[in-house]
A and B are shown apart, each in its own frame.
Chain A
Amino acid sequence: MKSLTWTAMVMCAVVVLLPGVASVTEDSADLVIEMYLNETEIPETLEHCGDHERMTEFKVARLQWHEVDIPLIIALWIIFATIVRLAFSFSSLEKYIPESCILICTGFVIGGIVLILSAVTSSKSGHPNDTVHSTRYAGVLQLESELFFLFLLPPIMLEAGYFMPVRAFTNNLATILLFAVIGTLFNAVTVGLSLFAVSEFGWLGSDGNETIRVSFLECFTFSSLISAVDPVAVLAVFEEIHVNQVLYILVFGESLLNDAVTVVLYRMFETFNEIGQDNLQTKDIIFGILSFFVVSLGGVFVGALFGFLTAVITRFAHHVRVIEPVFVFVMSYLAYLTAELLSLSSIMSIVTCAMVMKPYVERNISQKSHTTIKYSMKMLSSLSETIIFIFLGVSTLTETDNHQWNTSFVFFTLIFTFVYRFLGVIWQCFLANRYRLLKIKSKEKFIMAYGGIRGAIAFSLVALLCETIVLSKKIFFTTTIVIVMFTMFVQGMTIKPLVNKLHVKKEEKHKPSMNEEIFARVNDHILAGMELILGHEGRNSVREQWRHFDNKFLKKLLIRDYKAVSDPKILDVYQKLTEKDATDYIKEHGTFHLSASVSNFLRTEIGGSGMLHNSSSASLSGI
Chain B
Amino acid sequence: MGSKTSLLLQEEEIIQISKETGFTPNQISRLYSRFISLDKSEAGKLCPTDLMRIPELAINPLGSRIVEAFFANCSRESDTINFRQFVKTLAIFRPQRKNEVDNDVNSRASKLKFAFSIYDLENNGTVSGEDLLVILKMMVGCNITEEQLKAIALRTMNEADQNGTGMLSFDDFEQALTRVEAEQTMSIRFLD
Contact = CB atoms under 8 A, between A and B. Distances in A.
A565 interface: yes
16 contacts: A515-B173, A516-B180, A519-B180, A521-B139, A523-B185, A523-B186, A525-B66, A526-B66, A526-B186, A529-B67, A533-B51, A534-B188, A535-B37, A566-B141, A570-B140, A578-B155
A522 B62 contact: yes
A565 B144 CA distance: 7
A130 interface: no
Interface string A284-301: 000000000000000000
Closest 3 CB pairs of A and B: A529-B66, A515-B176, A525-B62
Contact of A519 (B66, B98, B115): B115
Contacts of B159: 513-515
A526 B179 contact: no
A86 interface: no
B57 A529 contact: yes
Contact-residue bracket for chain A: 35 or more
Interface in B18-66: 31, 34, 37-38, 51, 54, 56-57, 59-63, 66
A540 B66 contact: no
B147 A608 contact: yes
Contacts of A545: 56, 59
A574 B51 CA distance: 34
A538 to B, nearest CB: 6
Residue from B56, B93, B159 having most chain A Cβ neighbours under 10 A: B56
B59 A514 contact: no
Interface in A512-565: 513-516, 518-523, 525-536, 538, 540-541, 544-545, 548, 563-565
A514 B152 contact: yes
B121 interface: no
A46 interface: no
Nearest to A570: B140
A510 interface: yes
A519 B113 CA distance: 12
Contacts of A530: 66, 90, 93, 188
A570 B56 contact: no
A540 B190 CA distance: 13
Contacts of A536: 191
Interface of A: 435-439, 510, 513-516, 518-523, 525-536, 538, 540-541, 544-545, 548, 563-568, 570-571, 574, 577-578, 604-605, 608, 611-612
Given A514-B156, A522-B115, A530-B188, A570 B145 contact: no
Contacts of A611: 144-145, 148
A540 B187 CA distance: 11
Contacts of A531: 188
Given A523-B115, A525-B60, A529-B63, A571 B54 contact: no
Contacts of A437: 95, 184, 187-189
A539 to B, nearest CB: 9
Given A514-B155, A533-B51, A564 B186 contact: no
Interface string B120-148: 00000000000010011001110111011
B167 interface: no
Residue from B139, B160, B190 having most chain A Cβ neighbours under 10 A: B139
B140 A516 contact: no
Nearest to B144: A565
A515 B66 contact: no
Contacts of B173: 515
Contacts of B184: 437-438
B153 to A, nearest CB: 9
B105 interface: no
Contacts of A438: 184
Interface of B: 31, 34, 37-38, 51, 54, 56-57, 59-63, 66-67, 70, 90, 93, 95, 98, 114-115, 118-119, 132, 135-136, 139-141, 143-145, 147-148, 151-152, 155-156, 159-160, 173, 176-177, 179-180, 184-191
A510 B181 CA distance: 14
A533 B54 contact: yes
B60 A528 contact: yes
Given A437-B188, A525-B139, A533-B38, 16 more contacts: A437-B189, A516-B177, A520-B180, A522-B115, A526-B62, A529-B57, A530-B66, A534-B34, A534-B188, A536-B191, A545-B59, A548-B59, A563-B143, A563-B144, A564-B143, A570-B152
Q: Dominant SS at the B interface?
A: helix
Contacts of B93: 527, 530
A131 B155 CA distance: 76
A493 to B, nearest CB: 32
A616 to B, nearest CB: 13
Given A515-B160, A518-B136, A541-B56, A525 B61 contact: yes
Residue from A510, A522, A541, A604 having most chain B Cβ neighbours under 10 A: A522
Nearest to A581: B155
A166 B58 CA distance: 26
Given A522-B135, A570-B152, A608-B148, A533 B90 contact: yes
B70 A518 contact: no
Nearest to B155: A514
A524 to B, nearest CB: 9
Contacts of A571: 140, 144, 148, 152
A515 B156 contact: yes
Given A515-B160, A526-B186, A570-B152, A565 B143 contact: yes
Contacts of A563: 143-144
Given A510-B179, A529-B63, A567 B141 contact: yes
Contacts of A533: 38, 51, 54, 57, 70, 90
Contact of A522 (B139, B145, B189): B139
A171 to B, nearest CB: 11
A577 B140 contact: no
Residue from B59, B147, B159 having most chain A Cβ neighbours under 10 A: B59
A541 B148 CA distance: 29
A621 to B, nearest CB: 19
Contacts of B190: 534
Contacts of B119: 522
A526 B116 CA distance: 11
Contact of B62 (A529, A568, A574, A605): A529
Contacts of B59: 544-545, 548
A62 B35 CA distance: 90
